[in-house]
Amino acid sequence: MGDEQTQTQLQTELATLQEDWENLQGLLEKRKDITNAIIQNWERCEARLSDSMQQLDTIQTGLKQPIPEHDKELQVTEKLTKEAENSLDDWAESLTELATMKTDLSQYIIADDVLLLQEQVEHLHCQWEELCLKVGDMAGGG
């Protein structure tokens, strides 16, 4: 009877281990899916930051152009100023979306990476505020 009892106990333990193993494999697959989603969000966030930097550079370059003295040049400048204002509005919306993405990502990533993203977003926000002031000055002065 001892052998039979031992064999039954071993089979029960083996069945439990197999069930645990299958559960762990399922959890691992879910973790892999979550990790892949996080990586994709991170890459999208980096791409959006890069695009935003390029937009800001373009706007800054446009704002560095000298103020025109003739009516035709003034009309062109007003049009460019309006385009810059629209770009800044779009950029502000993008910045808000980036902040949301950062919040979503911060649940899953290392604190140092969150700080890096936060610094980049804050830097972009400061640049955005500076450009808003410049565009406002151009619109008010023009």
DSSP string, 25-58: HHHHHHHHHHHHHHHHHHHHHHHHHHHHHHHHHH
pLDDT digit string, tens, across residues 96-139: 887 787 777 767 766 677 677 777 777 777 777 777 777 677 66
pLDDT score recorded for residue 50: 85
CATH of domain 2-141: 1.20.58.60
pLDDT of 36 strictly over 70: yes
The H or E element containing residue 63 is helix 2-63
* pLDDT band of 3, cuts 50, 70, 90: confident
DSSP-derived letter for residue 70 is S
* pLDDT band of 67, cuts 50, 70, 90: low
Mean predicted confidence (pLDDT) in 3-15: 89
* pLDDT band of 55, cuts 50, 70, 90: confident
